[in-house]
Chains A and B, each alone.
Chain A
Amino acid sequence: MVVVRLMNVTKVFRTGVVGVKDINLTVNHKEFMALLGPSGSGKSTTLYLIAGIYRPSSGKIFFDDRDVTNLPPKDRNIGLVFQNWALYPHMRVYDNIAFPLRIKKLPENEIRKKVLETAKMLRIEKLLNRYPWQLSGGQQQRVAIARALVKEPDVLLLDEPLSNLDAQLRISVRAELKRLQKKLGITTIYVTHDQAEALAMADRIAVINNGRIIQIGTPEQVYTKPATVFVGGFLGNPPMNFIEGEIVEEKGKLYIVIAGQKIFAPAHYEPIIRRGGWRKVVVGFRPEDTMILPECRDRNECVKGRVYAVEPMGREYIVVADLGGELVKAIVPRTLVLTDDQEICLCPSLEKIVLFDPKTEKSLEVLAAEKE
């Protein structure tokens, strides 16, 4: 198995379009890495660079210590699964899975053994005589994964393999794929635009936007400590709330003023704010880390707002609140009864607030770390 390293990789297409810029990424041995980003962000480009389908304009790609930057795809020993699965429509499932081995000119009895083994692992051994168009989406997807795995690749590359499945199936396949990856212990890079998929499956997530990697971290880190406003707004459903705030100091204590109301600045931000001399900030807080009370007691932890709309989601309710003209969301238990335009009190959990610089949109922690 293999460690994949990208060093300062840039891809500029012939048309002048910049695919990715200055990508630095290390995917560890046996790791499940998700490349997460909106469409056109460069995540698939990154995957194709690793696969060798694209050559980088500059930078280097290593598999362990082997420089594969200029190796063609076939010499990299990778398994690739596409969004549309790319099964050969004129070949039966068996021949589809056997294809990579036949190209390698393995003896037919060995091919047979490996195909059956892989098919059994993915529970498609009963479908080997069918044509792709006779299979359901979920089955086609398994065949595509079997075809990628049958040649025992060093790296498994998945390009949105679940996005052609219906929502229900996607969720069940997600757990299965994660388990399979752990069982095989194969270094896996998974491209997706679905933040839930990335959070659910990956060991680490690399968030990509506009051809650049914005943040790399565990799902926990990326979710709770987004490095930029973009990351906070891209992950989570509903995503993080953002509202502009101003820092004021009264009697040696720091406060943030949101919508004309004062709340305490989170304790862990105090040194950063003082050192950076921050005045204007963007306050980010997650809907599920926000409490709603019928009325505010004067505690400087909550702000007054008004109910804009209530969205019952089954398990919980999403309350859309009007905070001095800005709409923010909070997830509340079903037991809370609220009516539209009712005055409420919104209490973001102070220790979970993330503060961002309004200009660079980077979090204050990241900016502080960059300065050091």
Chain B
Amino acid sequence: MTREVSGDMTKSNLFSKIKDFIHSDAFIFLLPAIILIIVFYLIPIVVSVYMSFTPLKNWNIARYIHEFVGFENYWRFFYMVTHDPTVRPIFITTVVFILVTLAINVLGGLGLAIATFFMGEREASSTQLLWLLPRMTPIAVYSMIWYYFFHGSAIGTLNSILMSLGIIHKPIDWGQSIIPWGPWMIIIFVNGLVGVSYGMIVFTSAISNIPKELVIAARVDGASNWSITKNILIPLLKWHIVYVTTWQMLSLLTTYDHIFLLVEWGLVNRYYGTTWALYIYNMAFTAAEKDLGLAAAAGVILVIVGALLGLLALKILGFEKMVKEPRGDI
């Protein structure tokens, strides 16, 4: 009896709370964001989840949309990952790609931000501009540059340099012949170079917010650049490192634009140059038989993995501590 009453109470409380929220100024303020999230995030997720339970193929919506196959797509996906020799490399590649590129992005960004901090103003800004170039270059143009750089024939920049130096005598097909290191190296290199600038910008602006007196005080005490970096800059950049790591990890998990072009142009091996996100894209849009149910299932799992990894990263790196200590309005 009592339990039911209290249950009703909470229910009506919740409704009245939602009602209050809809009538509040905050709701109006949040409305644009709420609409965007619903249209571009929630609806696609619901559609994807729905699709993952249907045997939808080749966009033949009329035929398959009312057919339900339960978790069959999910079982098929797991079976392919564990047994299909053309799918397994994709997942190994995804793990290697994310781990190595993430390390390059975060450490590279941090290193650049700190290095430019100790440089003169002019050197610092030109260094930063240089590292921003990959970010500013259109994806296709940027991919094209590295396509020619790593090209497997004698016209490839890397090959022709090595050949003219006499280190190699005939061109090496970097992305197709040295499996898996060749394609891995290329996709990690290309994406790593783009991603470094993000960390660099976040860390640079964070460093510029550290009071200069802290550094001067350490300098007066005789601290070297390394000691200032280790004892002052990095501890004070902790939260920014958490943020950049989490953010970059999630964006690496879902990125496929550069990789798509490199695979399509045949620069890198199709199996050891494809990541999970690109695999889903290919299955849904470019494969001969577009297995949309399977693609949707793989996509749903990718979203779940992303969410879990994000939460895990924030947990490990102590995000809740950052949230608990408000430093603004006390």
Contact = CB atoms under 8 A, between A and B. Distances in A.
Nearest to A133: B327
Given A90-B235, A90-B236, A53 B219 contact: yes
Contacts of B222: 73-75, 100, 103-104
Interface in A72-107: 72-75, 78, 80, 82-84, 86, 88-91, 99-100, 103-104
A84 B210 CA distance: 12
A5 interface: no
B118 to A, nearest CB: 14
B211 A103 contact: no
A99 B221 contact: yes
Contact of B220 (A80, A83, A104): A80
Interface residues of A, number: 24
Nearest to B235: A90
A147 B217 CA distance: 10
A88 B232 contact: yes
Contact of B223 (A53, A80, A83, A103): A103
A73 B216 CA distance: 9
B253 to A, nearest CB: 31
A84 B213 contact: yes
B218 interface: yes
Contact of A86 (B217, B231, B235, B236): B217
A52 B231 CA distance: 22
B216 A74 contact: no
Contacts of B216: 53, 80, 82, 86
Given A82-B213, A86-B211, A90-B236, A99 B219 contact: no
B268 to A, nearest CB: 43
B214 A73 contact: no
A162 interface: no
A51 interface: yes
B232 to A, nearest CB: 6
A151 interface: yes
A53 B221 contact: no
Contact of B214 (A72, A74, A88): A88
Interface of A: 51-53, 72-75, 78, 80, 82-84, 86, 88-91, 99-100, 103-104, 133, 147, 151
Interface of B: 211, 213-214, 216-223, 227, 231-232, 235-236, 238, 327
- Smallest CB-CB A-B distances: 4 pairs: A74-B222, A86-B213, A100-B221, A90-B235
